[in-house]
Amino acid sequence: EVQVAESGGGSVQAGGSLRLSCAASGYTESLNVMGWFRQAPGKEREGVAFIYAGGGHTVYADSVKGRFTISRDNAKNTMYLQMDNLNVEDTAIYYCAVSTRPYVVGVTAPEEYNYWGLGTQVTVSS
């Protein structure tokens, strides 16, 4: 069993930055791919950024490329999302997702992730 908790959300003006954290606890030896999803009011959940177990391979949604940076510290079982140059379209609840499956085929598919955090709100104002 793995527990996941996000932190670091808040309100910021357009052009500003925020850093989200996702701390995993429990059976962390099984952690594989970790990722961030977001959901804005009235919209479907969207994959934002993903990072493989070794930390060397990352995947980003086109909408955040060049602005967001995902990273992880395996010693601390923690993943981060540095969000720069935020715009109002980034406003959403951000969820941390963790997969403990040994093989992840579709890294952007929510179904690949078996543990989720409760989410943290990010609000960007113009």
Give tens-digit pLDDT for 4-49. Answer: 999 999 999 999 999 999 999 998 888 999 999 999 999 999 999 9
Asked whether the predicted pLDDT for residue 55 surpasses 80, the reply is no
Whether 90 has a pLDDT exceeding 80, the answer reads yes
Predicted local distance difference test score (pLDDT) of residue 23: 97
Residue range 46-72: average pLDDT? 94
Best CA proximity match to 83, nearest among 17, 23, 35: 17
The secondary structure element, H or E, covering residue 47 is: strand 46-51
101 pLDDT band, cuts 50/70/90, is: very high
- Could you tell me which of 101, 126, 124 has the C-alpha nearest to residue 40? 124
Supply the pLDDT for residue 45. Answer: 96
**pLDDT at site 28:** 82
DSSP string, 57-101: -EEE-TTTTTTEEEEEETTTTEEEEEE-S--GGG-EEEEEEE---
Handedness of CA 99, 111, 82, 122 (dihedral sign): negative
